[in-house]
Amino acid sequence: MRILSSGRLTLIAAFAAIYLIWGSTYLAIVFAIESMPPLLMLAGRFGVAGIVVFAWALWKGIPVPTGEEWRNAAVVGTLTLAAGTGAVAWAEQWVPSGVAALLVTTVPIWMVLLEWKWKGGTRPAPPVWWGLGLGLVGIVLLVNPSEAGLGGSRQVVGMLAILVAAITFSIGAILGRELALPSRPLMSTAAQMLTGGLALAIAGILRGETVSWGTITAESWAAWAYLMVFGSIIAYGSFVWLMKNAKPSHVSTYAYVNPVVAVVLGWFLGGETLTGAMFFAIALLLTAVLLITRFGGSRVGKVRARSRMANRSGAILNAFAHSMDPAVDSMGRRPLSAGRRFRVTFEAFAHSMDRPAESLPRT
């Protein structure tokens, strides 16, 4: 019996990663930079993650990128990771994480406008503009700047830096669809993280950042590890795959969901209060996501379920279900350890995500 009748599990899993994991990274960055310099912290995060993914890609027999692909990956990685994520981490030294999430929500606006004006796309439909407007109203309700403790020149500069970061991230994400990057998403992710991490290291050194290893707390190490594994390898890998197989305006809706995740984490982990206004804001945000994803693209090229995609989706779910069965391992011989369960599931996930973009459906 087929567990799944739809071929969209990979698409859903990738969106879930950028929605939920990236929503938690704002809080993780705050914990990490308590005892780590922001740019060098991110350089280590993306550098180590890039090495892991690069080694994984080589182990799978994926060819090393060409010179042109490395150059293009450096452009995209510098715009999205070094300038984009780097500016956010730097600004969070003074700007509250919730306000940072608020400013990052301008990404969908920039991506829609860039697709329209810069790339000569069609004018966004009225429902898309309604969606963008509702999303921004929801964000304002969700994070009230007047209560965020804003003030001072450093915070103003930090907020401007995040707005610039949103623009550079949008440009890099769109270029990532057009430039000649490694055709296999796994290698493309590795190349962008390695080059982006190198750019961050150079920027950190030029800023005079230094690392005092003895003063780094266990909390910062744990946050860094979470950012590296989940924020970089899983979530960013999903983002790269989505930018090749979904409309940028659809992918950019993560910026509306991330602050919702931040509020829930604040309530669950920080004991913050959920008010009626917050629930109303969440409803507006979800409505905005629905409008943008529903009306953000043309009728031509909508996602169609394909048997190849369905097979991949089924493989992931079956591997996950099998790995959670304590009775047997993947060969039916002995119980699976927790580490082995993770490895079986991650291998299936990576295998399903690592396909040439041309063979996958686009939205």
Tens digits of residue pLDDT in 263-293: 788 677 756 566 777 678 778 877 887 787 6
Share of the chain above pLDDT 70, in %: 74
How many angstroms separate the CA atoms of 39 and 201, rounded? 7
How many angstroms separate the CA atoms of 111 and 88, rounded? 18
pLDDT at 339 over 80: no
How many angstroms separate the CA atoms of 245 and 354, rounded? 12
What is the structure's pLDDT at 121?
Answer: 72
What is the structure's pLDDT at 336?
Answer: 46
Within its chain, how far is the Cα of 278 from the centroid?
24
What is the structure's pLDDT at 154?
Answer: 80
Average pLDDT over residues 81-101: 88
What is the structure's pLDDT at 105?
Answer: 77
Average pLDDT over residues 309-337: 41
User: No. of H helices and E strands in the chain?
Assistant: 17, 0
Q: Where are the domains of the chain?
A: 9-298
pLDDT at 297 over 60: no
pLDDT band at 146 (very low <50, low <70, confident <90, very high): low
Backbone phi, psi, residue 279, to 5°: -65, -40
Supply the pTM of this predicted model: 0.71
Those residues whose C-beta lies under 8 Å from the C-beta of residue 230, and which sit 6 or more positions away, are 21, 24
pLDDT at 46 over 90: yes
What size, in residues, is the chain? 363
In the block, tokens 């991506």 appear at 111
**Between 239 and 318, the higher pLDDT residue:** 239
How many angstroms separate the CA atoms of 26 and 92, rounded? 9
Tens digits of residue pLDDT in 225-255: 999 999 888 888 888 788 878 887 788 788 7
